[in-house]
Amino acid sequence: MDKKLKLPPKSKDTLTPPSLLADKLRVLIGKPFKLTNKSRTDGSSVRKLIASTLIENNYPEPSSKSDFIIIPPKAKGVPKILLEYVDSYIVTSGDMYNLQVWNRNPSYDSIQVEYENGETLNTGEVRFVCTKVNPLTNIIDSIVVLTPEYIVNKFGSFGKPTIKSQLIISEKSRSFVISRPNHILFYDDYTEIGDNKNISDIRKFSIHDEPSAESLLPLKKIKEIIIDKVIGYSIEPGATKNRGQELEAIIANALGYTISEKELLAGGYPDIRNQALEVKLQDSPTVDLGKYSPEYEEIVPKCAGFTTRNMRYLIVLTNPETNIIEGAVLSSGSKLGKHFTYIAEKSYKCQRSIPMSFFDGLKGTSSFNPTT
């Protein structure tokens, strides 16, 4: 595959619109494609065919290697045809087609490519090019270009694999957070949650009590406390687990809880359940999220009304040399992917079944997000 196709476009605005991608690939309809029935071989061959067809047409100007960084380690989950932000798939036979996406959740934002000028390419912007090959005639029957949003709305969400999730905060993103007013990146709750008056009764609760109307503080109030009592605080070097527990104690005390060592050792998700608040410390690019991640929406046990998406997250950024808390991120989980990148410790795949009848109904066409 042409090396240019492995670079992102100079600007995301120069990506070929998906409807025009479908037009460019129309020339492949009716062309022979010899199947080997070896999935990797056929998948690689169709990707090369799509790539060569796109490179023969007007294509975006590639970026200089100094103009961008790819965030996921080893580019895991990043589209193979990066210049057009495209992943290709081959569809053949059966009643259902199992669309498999490796190392990313297509239906939720997570930064994949970060430009020097601040632009980003996210998981939700990848274009899926599905090539339907007739297994009897070895002829390309149709091409369909799909967006993640279309797939989810028409066929349902991608399945959640069992993974241990992590979050990458790049040096550029970290600097952005620290440069914000009061050194905090803040997004308020979607809907009004909690009451400022609850601050006077916090001491009667344990941090592990379920959140309630009598205990919850508005996220804006928590923000004030973080700015006033947490940013600038020093956390001494030590084992990651110990530092995490120390941070949890710092936050709990700042909010007004009376906390015991036994409560700290209890663990659980979220760390401060009484405030539906998960607390993380970051002094390296990787933040361990554990079993629960906002990348996939799940109901949170013993936290009525909260899912992983509206769970509140506090990520404090410490200086690895001075150990001082330099900044913080405070928001619902749903906003984290707007600025940072989800990865997994091990490779995984998200899957979505699509009825073969969908592709059969498009025979002889090359289309984008068809209405049929």
Write out pLDDT tens, residues 309-335. Answer: 999 999 999 998 888 999 999 999 999
Does one domain contain both 36 and 17?
A: yes
Does one domain contain both 332 and 362?
A: no
Note the pLDDT tens digit of each residue in 80-131.
Answer: 999 999 999 999 988 999 999 999 999 888 999 999 998 999 999 999 999 9
Does one domain contain both 354 and 208?
A: no
Does one domain contain both 195 and 315?
A: yes
Does one domain contain both 284 and 178?
A: yes
Note the pLDDT tens digit of each residue in 45-70.
Answer: 999 999 999 988 888 999 998 899 99
CA separation, residue 140 to residues 75, 130, 238 (Å): 30, 11, 59
Alpha carbon distance 65, 113 (integer Å): 12
Alpha carbon distance 13, 63 (integer Å): 12
The tally of domains found in the chain comes to: 2
CA angle 74, 173, 160 (to 5 degrees): 55
CA separation, residue 53 to residues 37, 57, 81 (Å): 23, 7, 12
Q: Which two tokens stand for residue 328?
A: 């913080």
pLDDT-derived band of residue 39, with 50, 70 and 90 as boundaries? confident
Alpha carbon distance 372, 303 (integer Å): 41
Alpha carbon distance 25, 212 (integer Å): 55
Q: Which two tokens stand for residue 331?
A: 């928001």
- What DSSP string describes 242-286? HHHHHHHHHHHHHHT----HHHHHH--SSTBGGGTEEEEEESSSE
Does one domain contain both 335 and 266?
A: yes
Alpha carbon distance 124, 14 (integer Å): 17
CA angle 345, 350, 354 (to 5 degrees): 170
Does one domain contain both 268 and 205?
A: yes
What's the pLDDT score for residue 61?
93
The percentage of residues in the chain with a pLDDT greater than 70, rounded to a whole number, is 98
pLDDT-derived band of residue 20, with 50, 70 and 90 as boundaries? very high
The least confident of 147-151, 232-236, 237-241, 292-296 is: 237-241
Does one domain contain both 43 and 183?
A: no
Q: Which two tokens stand for residue 300?
A: 């949170």
What's the pLDDT score for residue 211?
96
* Segments of 178-332 assigned E as strands: 184-186, 277-282, 286-290, 312-318, 325-332
What's the pLDDT score for residue 321?
85
Contact criterion met (CB below 8 Å) for 78 and 114? no
What phi-psi label fits residue 118: left (phi over 0), alpha (psi between -120 and 50 degrees) or beta? Answer: left
User: Exposed/middle/buried for 297, CB within 10 Å: 0-12, 13-18, 19+?
Assistant: middle
Does one domain contain both 216 and 324?
A: yes
Alpha carbon distance 272, 254 (integer Å): 12
Alpha carbon distance 356, 290 (integer Å): 36
Parent domain of 9: 3-163+348-368
The average confidence (pLDDT) of the chain is: 91
Q: Which two tokens stand for residue 46?
A: 């169709």
Q: Which two tokens stand for residue 189?
A: 């709750």
User: Exposed/middle/buried for 246, CB within 10 Å: 0-12, 13-18, 19+?
Assistant: middle
Does one domain contain both 330 and 225?
A: yes
The least confident of 7-21, 153-167, 192-206, 271-285 is: 153-167
Does one domain contain both 84 and 8?
A: yes
Does one domain contain both 231 and 85?
A: no
